[in-house]
Amino acid sequence: MKRTLQKTLIYMILTVGALFILIPFIWMISTSLKPSNEVLIMPPKFIPSKLIWENYKIALEAAPFNTYFKNSIIVTVSVTAGEIITTILAAFAFSRINFKGRDLIFTILIATMMVPGEVLTIPNFVTLSKLGWIDSYKALIIPWCASIYSIYLLKQHFMSIPDELYNAAKIDGCSDFKFLWTIMVPLAKPAIVTLIILKVISSWNSFFWPLIVTNSKEMRTLPLALSAFTDEFGTEYNVLMAATNIIVLPVIIFYTILQKHIISGVSKAGIKG
Amino acid sequence: MKIILENICKTFGSVKAVSNLNLEIDDGELISILGPSGCGKSTTLSLIAGLLKPDNGEIYFGDKKVTNIEPEYRGIGMVFQNYALYPHMSVLKNIMFPLKMKKIHKKEANKMAIQMAELTKIEDLLHRKPSELSGGQQQRVAIARALVKKPEILLLDEPLSNLDARLRIEMREEIRRIQQEINITTIFVTHDQEEAMSISDKILLMKDGLYQQYTTPREMYSNPSNKFVARFLGNPPINFIETEIMYNGEVVKLHNSRIILNLSRHLKGKGIKENQVTLGIRPEDFIITNKDEALFSVEVIGIQIMGKEIYIIANIDEGIKVTLVASWDFNIDVGDRLYLDAKNIHIFHRGDVC
Amino acid sequence: MKKIDKLRKSNTFKGLLYIFPATLILIVFKIYPIIKSFTMSFYTDFDYLSGEVYKRGLDNFQYVLRDPDFYLALKNTFYFVLGAVPLSIILSLGFALLLNSNIKLNSFFRSIYFLPFVTSTAALAIIWRWIFNGDYGLANYMVLLLGGKKIKWLTDPSFTIPILVLFNVWKGMGYKIIIFLAGLQNIDKKYYLSAKIDGASKWNIFTNITLPLLSPTLFFVSITSVIGAFKIFDEVFVLYNTGTGPLKSGLTIVYYIFNKFYRHWQFSISAAAAFVLFIIILIFTLIQLKIGKTKSNY
């Protein structure tokens, strides 16, 4: 008796928590499908009397979302690919190749993790403007194509692959470079997939950096575009929520498909970090 | 392929892993490098493989100096202690990997791999992953992978230490069979003396990076060059009795005891030249005899029944213990007095460390 | 020729080749800016385009430390950290413990809690702005349901920090729950069993076994939470429509840095403020490291 009561209580608390998390999302979807005359009313209606898909069309036509989508995709894909490649190479060197100054370089790089990214914004902005990269894909992509945190995580993973495998491959006539791609990378696949997923999410959602290095409308990524969009549609909440959903939806789909991977990846990264 | 090691030295920090090692291995021989952990046997193997480079000395394969050649160009196959199979590849892919690295055509590689699988009797397992295999099967895959590129030298680094006792005996016979079938020069590293003696043409015994003795198992067992070698081979281990010479290089007094032994019969005219020596008598070399023919008498203080034989622990005198192996024919109890003679007595310097 | 060949074969050359792409980017966009930002905070008179510096000194730091806005930003950020960090840790630990108690729908709940973490802060802030709309928002509907009066959530300065705290807790809870769950699952079940056999109550088990064994995780979460909380910016920027909230009640340190740099073009002052932020975070991290060393001693 006591056990069932306890279980029920636990489920109730968990459900309240889940509702607390979900209500804003439900509220967004509900609002995005409302006719204009049902948006600004008190008490609010959760289920619209009629589903107005029009709102999405208006939102999509009101701003060049095609361009924003394209920008977000180009930036996310390039940043992710770039970071993974530089990370794999560096993690391999730091974990397998015994070269002079290796530990010193690694320590210096690790030490930079202490400094909050915001501190770097100004000099980076100056560097980029000197290079003439402001308001270009280069500015959005290149500075993010390497991450010491990812290198650290992957290095830990590479180090857990036994030395014997490396020796065996050498005896089998395998060069370092081939060993990295035919043995190490396939074996570290779970870790690499985690890094990819985390990078995709953080890059897709990134706000502060694009805000600073882009000026023109043509270079905006989705989160920036949405923020700008609110100026124009500040009171038409149904259209605004439709626009918000357009940006949130791809990530939610991505998340739903890969949630097992994401969650186990995050927990592993957290425990190690 | 003949292998020659000349004055090989290797240090790690302040530890001398291998000092001044000279070794010659004839073509087609299987030799074991034997010794306790940390004796430098695995380091020696890694030096021969090229995974490590010596600080000093040269290594020759046949007439060719290979000291500074990378492992991938030495034409060797190697089996590792944990097998080091690539976990994400099937058995077939694992065996084919060295051929792929040599850019051998896939069809040809496939054929060669299957041949090798037949030799090692794993042809039914080709499409499994290493994690789905037993220890013995993984071992066979590792051997097949090492041999598939037709190396001239096979190196085995404690290949049996992860297997259970029964499988170990089976696999060591397998290794011997395969080695003789393809007649490949093989170096086998182990810490297990029984394994080394049963499998090898010759044994190199090492301790603390130093050469101890290099000869056939039989010779090493019957003529150990020092106390360490004598003690390392044989189970239960050899008995050591400390003595001082009394007379003529033949009559000795036991150290810390009043018991005197006359060894004239045993030494067969070879008198002992030193003043203090250690006698070594293997437990199985004792003969239980009568009072008149005995070398000395002992009091039984313990008996261990081992199955096919019994171990008797006995005191010659206060604090001087020996172990002997006897058959079931004798009805012996604790407290009995036995009269013993010895078939064979080894003489060592007392100063030897073991 | 031979020398080049030898160099190519050497490990040092190979190692440097492998780390070159990552290190180049990290040097240009991470190490150089750290040094530059430090030196720039001492430039009192310079031309940023030509890079010429006419005068150096401590004026920037003096300016920042005398600027009432900076103190306001400090105060707001501290309130935010004090509210958000403990609340989110307690809540997430609680939920993690509930999820860890053999719940069937464990992974279902976990997935829901994690949802806000993967979603863009900018998008979420817009939804929250709509929820806290003073006339037609969901929040005021709840207040009315509970018999209260409509509240001007987004225009009353006293609500700014509480809303930011709530938003932060809501968004970050899932992440912390997952980290705590991983930590809890790392604890060997045999400790619980032996404690039970020793007659420990549930509360005893929690304080004597779970908490001490969870302390490394707790420690990790609290450090990252504090650092993250000190850097709050996106939430304010979007929630208050690119402003700093009513009466600057949402002006945080990073917002201050952003304003100085992006809106007023006072690069060196901004750099000085960023440097102060770094020092504050460093001090807090060191304090926590110290506490962590004495508390989590296994």
Give the residue carrying structure tokens 């209580």.
A9
Give the residue carrying structure tokens 């190749």.
A97
Q: Is the pLDDT of residue A272 over 60?
A: no
Of residues B272 and A154, the one with the higher pLDDT is A154
Q: What is the pLDDT of residue A261?
A: 81
- For A208-250, the pLDDT digits (tens) are 899 989 999 899 999 998 888 887 776 788 999 999 998 899 8
Confidence of residue B318 (pLDDT cuts 50, 70, 90): confident
Residue C2 lies in a domain: no
Contacts A–C by Cβ distance under 8 A: 282
List chains adjacent to chain B, taking adjacency as at least 3 C-beta pairs closer than 8 Å: A
**C37, A119: Cβ pair inside 8 Å?**
yes
| B350 to chain A, closest Cα gap in Å | 42
Contacting C residues, span 21-60, partner chain A, CB-CB under 8 Å: 21-26, 28-34, 36-37, 40, 48
Domains and CATH numbers, chain A: 63-232 (1.10.3720.10)
Per-residue pLDDT of chain C (298 residues; tens, 9 = 90+): 455 555 556 788 999 999 999 999 999 999 999 998 888 889 888 877 677 788 888 889 999 999 999 999 999 999 999 999 999 999 999 999 999 887 788 888 998 999 999 999 889 989 999 999 988 888 999 898 898 888 899 999 999 999 999 999 999 999 999 989 988 988 888 888 888 888 788 888 888 888 888 888 888 888 889 988 998 988 898 888 888 889 899 999 999 998 998 888 888 898 899 889 888 888 888 888 887 776 654 4
**A87, C22: Cβ pair inside 8 Å?**
yes
Domains and CATH numbers, chain B: 3-232 (3.40.50.300), 239-349 (2.40.50.140)
Q: Give the pLDDT mean for B309-313.
A: 92
Of residues A3 and A239, the one with the higher pLDDT is A239
Q: Is the pLDDT of residue B191 over 90?
A: yes
Q: Give the pLDDT mean for B109-137.
A: 93
Contact residues on chain C for A133, CB-CB shorter than 8 A? none
Tally of structural domains, chain C: 1
The pLDDT > 70 percentage for chain B reads: 98
A contact test, residue of B12, B46, B52, B78 with most A CBs within 10 A: B78
Q: What is the pLDDT of residue A165?
A: 92
B contact test, residue of A157, A160, A161, A171 with most B CBs within 10 A: A171
**C19, A89: Cβ pair inside 8 Å?**
yes
Confidence of residue B89 (pLDDT cuts 50, 70, 90): very high
Confidence of residue B198 (pLDDT cuts 50, 70, 90): very high
Q: Which residue on chain A is closest to B71 by alpha carbon?
A: A171
Structure tokens at C39: 């030196």
Q: Give the pLDDT mean for B216-232.
A: 94
What CATH number has the domain bearing residue C172? Answer: 1.10.3720.10
Peptide bond into A43 cis (omega under 30): yes
Structure tokens at B91: 């058995």
Confidence of residue A262 (pLDDT cuts 50, 70, 90): confident
Q: Is the pLDDT of residue B50 over 50?
A: yes
Domain range holding C230?
Answer: 61-295
The model carries a pTM of: 0.81
Contact residues on chain A for B71, CB-CB shorter than 8 A? 167, 170-171
Going from the C-alpha of A67 to that of each of A11, A63, A132, A195, the distances in angstroms are 45, 9, 22, 27
Q: What is the pLDDT of residue A273?
A: 39
- For A91-115, the pLDDT digits (tens) are 999 998 888 889 899 988 888 877 7
Residue C30 lies in a domain: no
Residue B101 near chain A (CB below 8 Å): yes
Q: What is the pLDDT of residue B302?
A: 92
Contacting C residues, span 239-268, partner chain A, CB-CB under 8 Å: 241-242, 254, 257-258, 261-262, 267
- For A183-215, the pLDDT digits (tens) are 999 999 988 988 898 899 899 999 889 998 999
Residue C178 lies in a domain: yes
Residue B12 near chain A (CB below 8 Å): no
Residue C125 lies in a domain: yes
Residue C34 lies in a domain: no
Q: Is the pLDDT of residue B353 over 90?
A: no
Residue C35 lies in a domain: no
Q: What is the C-alpha separation between B254 and B262, in angstroms, rounded? A: 11
Mean pLDDT for all residues in chain A: 89
Contact residues on chain A for B98, CB-CB shorter than 8 A? 171-173
Q: Give the pLDDT mean for A240-267.
A: 87
